C-alpha cells in the first residue's frame, strides 16, 4: 500500500443494512496513511460491519469504500486477494483455528503468503508471540487459552507479516488492565516503527484515546463526531459526551428498540 495520496482509506456516503436493519446510514470518513485511527461507538453501532466493508467481506448497499485508490466492491476475487495480502485483521471473536496449536496459528499466514524457510518462520512466530507476552504458550491449543490470552494470540497473528494496514476489532475486550495497557502501547509502537496504518474499533474509551491520532464516533449509523482525542473528550455533542463519560441517561439508549413495556406485559396475559 504505497500510494501517494494522503488518505489510505476513504469512505463516502456508505449505506448498509442487514435486511430491514439499517446499520450504516451515510458514513463519511477517511483514514490517513501512517496514523492510528479509532472508530468508537456503542455495541451494535456498525463498527465491525464497517471493517468488513473495508476488507471486502461485505458489499455496500450504496456509497463506496476505497483502499489505496481501489474501490473495494468493484474488485474481482484476484483483486481482493491482492489487496488483502497487505492487510492484517484481528477479529472480534479471535478467529483462531481451533484444531492447530498457537504456534501453527501464527505460522499459517507466513506459510500461506510467503516462501520463507521454516527456520525463519520459527523465529518470526516466537518474536510475535513474545511481543504479546505469550512466547511460552506456543505449544498450547486454542481451547487451553483463557479468553484474554486467545485475544493476544489473535493480535499476534494479525501482525504476523507486518502489514501496511492492520484492523483491530475490539482488541482490548477481555484483557486485564496490565495486558490492556501493554497491547495498546504495542499497537502504537508497531504502527510507528513500520510507518503503517491502523484502525482500532472499540468501545474502550480511556485506553483508545491514549494511543490514537484521530477518532470517529458512530451513532445511529452516521459519524456524529470526529477529531483528535482531546477534541472528542471535550465534545459538546450529547451522544459523544454521554459515551465518553459513561453516563446512563442521554440520547444513546440502553434498551434495544421495542414496543412499550406495558404492552408486552399485557400481551402475555
Give the confidence band of 245 by pLDDT, cuts at 50, 70, 90: confident
pLDDT at 176: 84
Coil, helix or strand for 218? strand
Contact 170, 184 (CB under 8 A): no
Give the confidence band of 115 by pLDDT, cuts at 50, 70, 90: very high
Residue 266 has pLDDT above 80, yes or no: no
Percent of the chain with pLDDT over 70: 93
Q: What is the pLDDT of residues 76-90, one digit of tens each?
A: 999 999 999 899 998
Q: What average pLDDT does this structure show over 249-261?
A: 68
Helices (H), the chain: 47-55, 77-84, 102-113, 118-131, 147-158, 177-194, 205-211, 229-233, 238-244, 261-267
Q: What average pLDDT does this structure show over 58-85?
A: 93
Residue 71 has pLDDT above 70, yes or no: yes
Residue 3 has pLDDT above 70, yes or no: no
- In 3D space, the residue among 176, 182, 177 whose CA is nearest the CA of residue 156 turns out to be 182
Contact 67, 89 (CB under 8 A): no
Question: What is d(CA 45, CA 79) in angstroms, rounded to the nearest whole number?
Answer: 29
Q: What average pLDDT does this structure show over 120-130?
A: 94
Full DSSP string of 87-140: EEEEBTTB---TTS-HHHHHHHHHHHH----HHHHHHHHHHHHHHTT-GGGTT-
Q: What is the CATH number of domain 34-46+82-267?
A: 3.40.50.300
Question: Reduced to 3 DSSP states, what percent helix, strand and coil does the chain have, rounded to the nearest 5?
Answer: 40, 25, 35
Question: What is d(CA 182, CA 175) in angstroms, rounded to the nearest whole number?
Answer: 10
pLDDT at 223: 93
- For the chain, domain boundaries: 34-46+82-267
Query: 79 exposed, middle or buried (CB, 10 Å; 0-12, 13-18, 19+)?
Result: middle
pLDDT at 256: 64
User: Which has more pLDDT, 262 or 142?
Assistant: 142
pTM of the model: 0.85
**Cell numbers of 167, please?**
484492523
Q: What is the pLDDT of residues 192-226, one digit of tens each?
A: 988 999 999 987 787 788 889 999 999 889 999 99
> Average model confidence (pLDDT) for the chain?
88
Rg (CA), the chain: 20
Question: What is d(CA 157, CA 102) in angstroms, rounded to the nearest whole number?
Answer: 9
Q: What is the pLDDT of residues 161-181, one digit of tens each?
A: 999 999 999 888 878 888 888
Residue 106 has pLDDT above 90, yes or no: yes
Residue 1 has pLDDT above 70, yes or no: no
Amino acid at each position: 500500500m504505497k500510494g501517494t495520496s494522503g488518505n489510505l482509506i476513504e469512505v463516502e456516503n456508505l449505506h448498509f443494512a442487514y435486511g430491514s436493519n439499517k446499520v450504516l446510514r451515510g458514513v463519511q470518513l477517511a483514514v490517513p496513511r501512517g496514523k492510528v485511527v479509532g472508530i468508537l461507538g456503542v455495541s451494535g453501532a456498525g463498527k465491525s460491519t464497517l471493517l468488513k466493508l473495508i476488507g471486502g467481506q461485505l458489499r455496500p448497499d450504496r456509497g463506496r469504500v476505497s483502499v489505496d485508490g481501489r474501490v473495494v466492491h468493484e474488485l474481482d476475487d484476484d483483486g481482493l486477494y491482492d489487496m488483502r495480502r497487505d492487510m492484517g485483521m484481528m477479529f472480534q471473536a479471535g478467529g483462531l483455528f481451533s484444531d492447530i496449536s498457537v504456534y501453527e496459528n501464527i505460522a499459517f499466514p507466513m506459510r500461506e503468503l510467503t516462501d520463507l524457510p521454516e527456520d525463519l518462520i520459527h523465529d518470526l512466530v516466537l518474536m510475535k508471540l513474545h511481543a504479546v507476552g505469550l512466547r511460552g504458550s506456543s505449544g498450547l491449543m486454542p481451547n487451553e487459552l483463557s479468553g484474554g490470552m486467545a485475544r493476544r494470540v489473535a493480535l499476534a497473528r494479525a501482525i504476523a507479516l507486518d502489514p501496511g494496514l492492520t484492523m483491530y476489532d475490539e482488541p482490548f475486550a477481555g484483557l486485564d488492565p496490565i495486558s490492556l495497557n501493554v497491547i495498546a502501547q504495542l499497537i502504537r509502537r508497531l504502527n510507528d516503527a513500520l510507518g503503517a496504518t491502523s484502525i482500532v474499533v472499540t468501545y474502550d474509551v480511556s485506553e483508545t484515546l491514549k494511543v490514537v491520532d484521530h477518532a470517529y464516533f458512530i451513532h445511529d449509523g452516521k459519524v456524529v463526531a470526529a477529531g483528535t482525542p482531546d477534541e472528542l473528550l471535550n465534545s459538546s455533542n450529547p451522544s459523544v459526551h454521554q459515551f465518553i463519560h459513561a453516563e446512563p441517561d442521554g440520547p444513546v439508549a440502553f434498551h434495544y428498540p421495542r414496543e412499550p413495556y406495558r404492552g408486552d406485559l399485557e400481551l402475555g396475559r
